Every structure is written in structure tokens, then in C-alpha cells.
Structure 1
Amino acid sequence: MIHVGVAGAAVAVRDWTRIAAKRGSRASVPAKRVECVDACRGVAVVGMLAANLVNVYLRHVPSVLAHNQGPSLRLFDLPAPLFQFLIGVSLTLFLRNRIATGRTPAAARFDAARRFLLLILLGVVLDGIGGLSPAPRWGVLQTLGLGGLLATLLDAVSPTVCAVVALGLLGLYSGPANGIVHEHPLAALAFVPLTLAGVLVGRTLGPDGDARTLLPSARAIGTAALVAAAALFAAGVPFDKTLGTSSFVVLATAVSAGLLYCTAALEVRGQTPGWIVAIGRNALTAWVTLYVVVYYPAWLVFPSWHRLGLGPGLVAVLATTALLSEGAVALGRRGVRIPL
């Protein structure tokens, strides 16, 4: 049954991989931001901030606000995989813009690989400080960087090969190979299909950067992933974000592609909310600020501080999420921005 679901997804994405092959990462595009991608990134980072802040502020986290609860799907399980998907979309845009400035494809891939290695290193440093440990630790940023790095290595191959690699990983991480995604690099490979799916969608962006060219591929991959998720779940593979099970990964892919479709449609109509776009353009700055402003004081300076009840705690979560987001935007306006 698992193989039927994966095979069905492979057939469903055939047409849009052909579109991706025609355009790819070497197509020339304007050196501008694509609003729908930034909007999705804004949704992802706001969700990630809120999901983690409830664990900082709330004495008892309600089930509906929890995440990483094993084989029990939660809304806050989805923001981090959304970011993983967007890493792939952004990679294609980054490579195109680098090539448009005169870099060779190989040099552009080297630039991208260096950025992802630095992202992994940044995650190791941030988590190491928080854990008061010199030993390297794996975490969210490291998983994002790993997905981007492997997607960069596969940039030169055809969309079909890229899809086959993603499907192979989905088959591998349907049980035996799974581990805790954000604790070990081998386990983190389970999230790589999300990034590869993002790459394939990003490759279909037209030369003029028109968001409407993303609509067919986002719709196709979202539909295929939703069908595959249902098939895998019916075959007994649970939705488990912590372990990165294949059913969860393809479900998260469907949600991510669906959100990109919606934001691309809004961009076509000129209705993209400017505030979420601004947050998305400064997403990594907001995430790093969470460590410095919230995590480190909570972990290191006030380790025994008392958490809050539900009402005051939710107010604190909303206020802190807003402050971190707006603070990152304000820093970005002053030229202080951690690029991604």
C-alpha cells in the first residue's frame, strides 16, 4: 500500500516536472523578492515563534497548542516543515539571481552551499550556548541547512531525478530508518523531500518572476502529496512530526504547497498582506532574536522562573511574537538582517 501511494504521487507530478525542466534554476529572473514566498515564510516563522513560546510561558500547555507530540498531529507541527519546503523554493530563486549577476551555475551553487553550511553552524552555536555544551547539537536550523545543502547538490540533476530521490527518501523513512528529526542529521534526512518538493515548485517560476506561473505546480504537488499522505496513513504510517514519518512529510508538503498557492493567488491580485511579507523577509532575524531575547534569559538567567497560567501566558505569547516579529522588521529597515 505504501508503494502504491508513492507511485501515485510520482505519476501525478510528471507533468509539472516537465515544466520545471524547461525553466530550472538557470532561467533569468529579475533580482527582486517574490511576495508570495516571503508571505509564506512570514506565516512559517510566526507559527514557529508561537509554537515555541507556549512552551516557555505556559505552565500547562493545552493539547491543541502543543507540538512534537509523537504520532498525534497538531497544528503547530506544520510551521517548521513549511519553512523546510520554502528553503527549496528560495534556493531556486537564489541560484537564478546569482547567475543573473554573472556567476556561473557552479559558482552559484557554491555560494548557496556556503550559506547553508553557515546556517548549520549558526544553529550549532545557538543550541550550544543554550545547552552550555561545547559538543555540537542538532536542531531546527541545522535541519533546514541540511535540506538546503542536499538540494543544492542535486540542483544540476533533472527534475525527474530530484523527484525520484524524494520518493526514495519517503520510502526509507516510512518506519525503519526514522529517528528524532531535530536531534540527529541522519534522522533529519526525513525532511529533505520537503525541500526537494520546494525546489521543483520553485523551478516552475517564469522568467518574469510572475507568481501566477507557480499556481499549476503548487496545485499539482499539493494534490499529489495529499493523496500520498492519505495512502501512507491508511497503510499504517502515522502522522509523526517528531520522527518525520513519510505520511507526515507528504501531508506537510501538501499544506505548504497549498499555502504557497493561496499566497501566489493573492500576489496575482495585488492583495498580499504587506505586514506578513515584511516579517517573512526578516524571518531568520526573528528566529535568532528568540534565542537571545527569550531562550537564553529563560534557560540561563532565570532557570527557576515560574511559568504562567493559560490567560496571562497566551497574552505573553502573543505580545512576544509580535515584538520579535516587528523588531526583526525594524532591524531589517536599518540594514540589520540575517539573510536566508
Structure 2
Amino acid sequence: MTTLPNLDQNSLSSNRLYSLDALRGFDMFWIMGADEVFHTMFKATDSPFWGVLSHQFSHPEWHGFRFYDLIFPLFLFMAGVATPFSLGKEIEKGKNREQLLVKVIKRGLILAALGVVYNNGLEIKPIEEIRFGSVLARIGLGYMFANIIYLYTKKPTIQAIWFGGILVFYYLLLKFNSAPGFPAGDLSQEGNFASYMDRIIMPGRLYKGNHDPEGLTSTIPAISTGLLGILTGNYLKNDPSDGIQKTKRMAMFGALFIVLALIWNIDFPINKNLWSSSFVLMVGGISLLLLSLFYYIIDVKGYQKWSFFFRIIGMNSILIYMSGVFIDWEYSTDSVFHWLGQLLGNPFNAVAMAICYTGIKWYFLYFMYQKKVFLRV
């Protein structure tokens, strides 16, 4: 198995960003089952406090933004952050760009293939029943194209132009086009141009019939999410400023992107389903704020021990994500902890089982860590 840049354990050179492993683990923590703790607590208590948290760990039907919308793009952002450390190091060693291009394309396509397996299992199905759009495919393709741009552009300023240009292009694409029978600029699920293009060009089935949140057309702006990570990683790796100054600048740009996203939201709504340009700025801003926080605490101040829990997850993120295809975690949790649910009874048995569900996954990853077993693409 080869290494997936940033998506699992990476060779980030001597100045490795330990904060990156921790932040990746923090990100994966919520989608490996921790979010269910908030949902079950709300059901058990009917408390407004848990209700607010539960609400934030669900996706809006269409327009809008909640914390749970950040999980996916944050992962792609971090894939970009690692690029200057991993791929950049290979360039510095004098490796041929064409060889690295093949490597990048291979990784992107393998992730897309894993996404098909994750969506559809190992069962062979007719092509019309297969869903090709997936979280892993978007990460793989977004990472791939962002890294191709990185390979063939020497200056960060050119990469920044690509970042902004892609966002403007996607905005104009949806602003002045639509599905047949809808006015130009229609952004409804049925009428928007991105979903219409997916219905034409994507094989198999779309997740919502007439729309796929991980469709091919809306992968275009996801390239900018990866590019923002690359720009951030390049800044952390090559800028001579000290750690505190880097922390401040990342936080400043994070806040600026959030403000710009809210302004753009007036005309081009923040929408994860469409991966709208304003959505890219919103999640990019929050990602920068989170990375600045983790970077300051872990890499600048040196407080690393507390992050071990998250780093265990972050170093094997693809393994735990794909594990559900092969392991029935709910059955495993019930087999080991059914007595605890019976002991507590309703309504908190579901809360306990949600905590145990996450815990048993973590201990599985800890065992893999001790055995030095990592799934790398």
C-alpha cells in the first residue's frame, strides 16, 4: 500500500505538522459516530441545548450552512495543506514532474474507485443501479486537479489566481445557465445547471434522483478547496515568519473569507449540495481558523499530548471510513456492550451505545496504531 497525501499518515519532512494529524482526527471523529451522541442526547432529554447541537450535526435540505457541512470540505482542505510538504519535497529532490503527475492521477482515481465500493458494497450491480458520485471521489478528484495545478505552477500567486478564477467561473456558470424550462440562474434542486449537467453526463444513479451532492459538475469548485489548502501549506512551509505570526495571518484570512462568504451569500447562497463559491469561502474560512488554533496549540506551543486521541484517528482516517463496508460496527458494539444498554434502560441506553460505538472504533484504530498498520492509498 502506498501513501495517500495528507489523507492518512504523511511524510511531511522534518518540520512535520503534528497539528494536521490531530485536526484530521478531530474531523473524522464526528463522522465515525460521535455526532450520534448529540442526536441521542436530544431525544433522551428534549433539552434545547442538546437540540441546538443536534441540529448543527445535520445537513440543511438545500441552502444554508451548519457545522456538519464543514466535515467533508475540511478533509479536502487538509489534503491540500500537506501537498507542499509531501509532493513539494519530492519536487525539491529533483523528481520528474511527469512521474509525479502519474502518481497524483493514480491516487485520485483510486479514491474515486474506493468511493464506488463504499457506496455500493462489493456486490456486482447493473450500471444503472450504481452510484458513482461519492465523498471519496470528490476528495480524490479535487485533490488530483489541485495537485496538477500545483505541479505546473511555480508561484503561489498563480495558484491564488486559479483559486479565485475557478470560483468566479463556477458562479458565472450557474448564474447564466439553468436546466431547460427554468430561468437563467435558477438554483433550485431541479433547475440548477450543475445538477442538470450531472443528469446528462454521469452514469448510474444520482443520490437524489435529479441531483447528487457529490456530482461531477460541482466538483469544479471543490478544486479551489484543495487549492486553498495548498496555499496554506505552502505558507506554513516556506514563509520565514515565526509560528505566532503565521497563526495570526491564518486566523485573519479565515475571518476575512467568512465575511466574504456572507456577502456573496446574498447573491450566490451558501450551499453544500452545489458546493457554491460562497460555500467554498465559508468552509475555507472556518478551516483556516481551526488549523490556526490547532497549529498554535500543538506546533507552536508544543502541547501535543492531549491531541493523541485525535491523532490516532487522523493517522488511519481512510481505514476507519472504509471499515463500515467490511465490519458491522453496530453488531460489534451491541455484542460487547449490550449489558450496559440493559443496565441503563430508556432513554439513556441509546446515548451509552452511541458513546460505545465511537469508543470501539477508536480502540480498533489504537490497536492498528500499535501494530503500525495504516491503510494508505
| TM norm structure 1 | 0.76
Q: Taking structure 1 as reference, are residues 297 and 196 closer, same or farther at Cα in structure 2, changes over 3 Å only?
A: farther
Q: Which residue is equivalent to 1:338?
A: 375
2:140 counterpart of 1:141: no
2:214 corresponds to 1:219: no
Asked if the contact 1:87–1:148 (Cα under 8 Å) also holds between the matched residues in 2, the reply is: yes
Give the corresponding residue for 2:4: none
Larger Rg: 2
Instruction: Quote the offset at 1:88 in angstroms.
Output: 0.7
Amino acid at match of 1:189: I
Note the alpha carbon deviations across 1:111-155, whole angstroms, 9 max, x for none. Answer: 233222211111122212178635351110000001111011101
Asked if 1:150 corresponds to 2:145, the answer is yes
Matched positions, count:
303
Does the aligned pair in 1 maintain the 2:12–2:82 contact within 8 Å? no
Aligned to 1:71: 63
Say whether the 8 Å CA contact 1:283–1:328 is kept in structure 2: no
Question: Contact 2:142/2:223 (CA < 8 Å) preserved in 1?
Answer: yes
AA matched with 1:281: M
Alignment pair present for 1:276 and 2:313: no
- Residue 121 of structure 2 aligns to a residue whose secondary structure is helix
Shift of residue 256, structure 1, vs aligned partner: 0.4
Shift of 1:45: 0.9
User: Which ranges of structure 1 fall in alignment gaps of 5 or more residues?
Assistant: 1-27, 299-308
1:160: which partner in 2?
157
**Is residue 284–residue 338 contact of structure 1 (8 Å, CA) maintained in 2?**
yes
- 1:238 is matched with 269
Percent of aligned pairs with the same residue? 23
Counterpart-to-counterpart distance in 1, 2:356 and 2:362: 10
Distance 1:168 1:241, change over 3 A: same
Kept in 2, the 8 Å contact 1:173–1:244? The answer is no
Structure-2 residue corresponding to 1:328: 365
Matched, 1:188 2:219: yes
CA distance in 2 between partners of 1:173 and 1:310 (Å): 47
Rounded Cα–Cα distance in structure 2 between residues aligned with 1:200 and 1:103:
21
Q: CA deviation digits over 1:144-170, x for unaligned, max 9?
A: 001111011101213223222222232
TM alignment of 1:34-113, pairs within 5 A:
34-50=17-33, 63-99=55-91, 103-113=95-105
Post-superposition Cα deviations, 1:164-191, rounded to whole Å, max 9, x if no partner, equal 2222232244444444564321122232
Read off the aligned partner of 2:144 and give its amino acid letter.
Answer: L
Cα distance in 1, alignment partners of residues 216 and 268 from structure 2: 21
The DSSP-based 3-state class of the residue aligned with 2:272 is coil
The CA RMSD measured in Å over matched residues stands at 3.5
Return 50-59 or 190-199, whichever deviates more. 50-59
Residue range with higher mean Cα deviation, 74-83 or 322-331: 322-331
Distance (Å, rounded) in 1 between the aligned partners of 2:97 and 2:235: 18
- Taking the aligned partners of 2:296 and 2:42, their CA distance within structure 1 comes to 40
User: 1:82: Cα distance to partner?
Assistant: 0.5
The residue type equivalent to 1:89 in the other structure is V
1:17 aligned partner: none
Give the whole-Å Cα distance in 2 for the aligned partners of 1:221 and 1:296. Answer: 41
Query: Structure 1 residue runs of 4+, over 6 Å off?
Result: 54-61, 208-211, 295-298
Between 1:246-255 and 1:201-210, the stretch displaced more is: 201-210
User: Are residue 287 (structure 1) and residue 324 (structure 2) matched?
Assistant: no
Deviates more, 1:45-54 or 1:203-212: 203-212
What's the CA shift string for 1:99-121, capped at 9, x where partnerless? 46663344334323322221111
Measure, in 1, the Cα distance between the counterparts of 2:321 and 2:296.
27
Given that residues 112 and 140 in structure 2 are in contact (C-alpha distance below 8 angstroms), is that contact kept between their aligned partners in structure 1? yes
279 and 55 in structure 1: CA distance in 2 versus 1, 3 angstrom threshold:
same
Q: In the aligned structure 1, how far is the partner of 2:360 from the partner of 2:330?
A: 17
The whole-number CA distance in structure 2 between the counterparts of 1:206 and 1:118 is: 28
Aligned equivalents of 1:295, 1:142: Cα separation in 2: 24
The SS at the match of 1:204 is helix
After superposition, where does 1:193-208 map in structure 2 within 5 Å?
193-206=224-237
What's the offset of the Cα at 1:242? 1.9
